[in-house]
Amino acid sequence: MKTIGIIAPSGGVDKNKMNNAIAFFENLGYKVKLAKNIFDKKRYLAGNDKDKINELHNFFEDADIDIIISARGGYGAIRLVSQLNYDLIKNNPKPIIGFSDVTALLLMIYKKTGIITYHGPMMTSDFSEVSSFTEKSFFKAINNEKLEFEGDKIYREGDAKGIIFGGNLATVVSLCGLDFIPSEDFIFFAEDLNEPVYKIDKMFQQLININQFKNNCKAIVLGDFLNVDNQEWLEEYFYELANRLEIPVIAGFKITHDKDKITLPIGKKSVLDSNSLFVL
């Protein structure tokens, strides 16, 4: 019987939603272990940074825990990444899953340790009332099955190879100034929520200004950009981005804050072939 460890690295956690999510996994035969700070509150945070870091370290060292899933996003993970003991994490490898604000942990842990991390559903935001689509994609990914996803919008066609890397665009950009960009070729994926087009433009520009990003990014896979202020401008911008970088840019993948979402293993070798993404 596998044990899932639940951490709260970001915003405060809703107890009722957490109980529903715990019941979902227990009904499947999993054990669930909660971080000690799971229901702590400090302003918009799930308690203080020191407790979050201690619990994350404890969960990686705990041999009884097989998988670590984040409770929710919000804000707070970026406060932790410069204080983590990456040697401890590297010496106790296990999957860690989340999206949105948790992107910061996923990318830094992969970069510093080489451990595959998972951009996917979280406890209160997804597993308290999980869709069958999200559930199926999650278990395929964590069981190391070959993954295939299909986009429905081509801004610039072409093929590409590299590791899959990315996440919530605003959170990725919050890591600028840290050593987080892969040294190998990668296919970059991105999604966001409630961001106007000019900020999406600005965030991509911030990444493109980094030579290592521009040189190693071989394709861009786009998820949802929900509640954008001007859909026509967004379309224009993505065509502009694709032609400027001269790499394939494909959209329509279920990488999203919405209910139905795919799980992507950050760091795994991937191939973009026309409008299909294969994670090997």
What residue type is 30 in one-letter code? Y
Please report the pLDDT score of residue 112 as a whole number. Answer: 98
- Structure confidence by residue, pLDDT tens digits, 209-264: 999 999 999 999 999 999 999 999 999 999 999 999 999 999 999 999 999 999 99
Distances (CA, A) of 133 to 262, 272, 279: 8, 22, 18
Q: Which residues contact 95 (CB under 8 A, 6 or more apart)?
A: 66, 67, 68, 115, 116, 117, 118, 142
Q: Is-contact 116 94, C-beta < 8 A?
A: no
CB 128 within 8 A of CB 24: yes
Strands annotated E in 108-243 = 117-119, 147-150, 153-156, 160-168, 186-193, 217-226
Res. 1 pLDDT band, cuts 50 70 90: confident
What domain count does the chain have?
A: 2
Domain range enclosing 268: 147-279
CATH of the domain at 203: 3.50.30.60
Tens digits of per-residue pLDDT, 97-136?
Answer: 999 999 999 999 999 999 999 999 999 999 999 999 999 9
264 vs 142: CA distance, rounded Å? 9
Within 194-241, strands assigned E span 217-226
Whole-number Å distance between alpha carbons of 44 and 9: 11
Shared domain check, 225 and 158: yes
Amino acid at 58: N
Task: Supply the pLDDT for residue 221.
Answer: 98
The token pair at 212 is 């290592």
Same domain as 194, residue 92 = no
- Where does the pLDDT of residue 70 fall: very low under 50, low under 70, confident under 90, or very high at 90 and above? very high
Q: Looking at the structure, tell me whether residues 27 and 94 fall in a common domain.
A: yes
User: 180 and 113 in one domain?
Assistant: no
Q: What would the pLDDT profile of 139-187 be if each residue is shown by its tens digit? A: 999 999 999 999 999 999 999 999 999 999 999 999 999 999 999 999 9
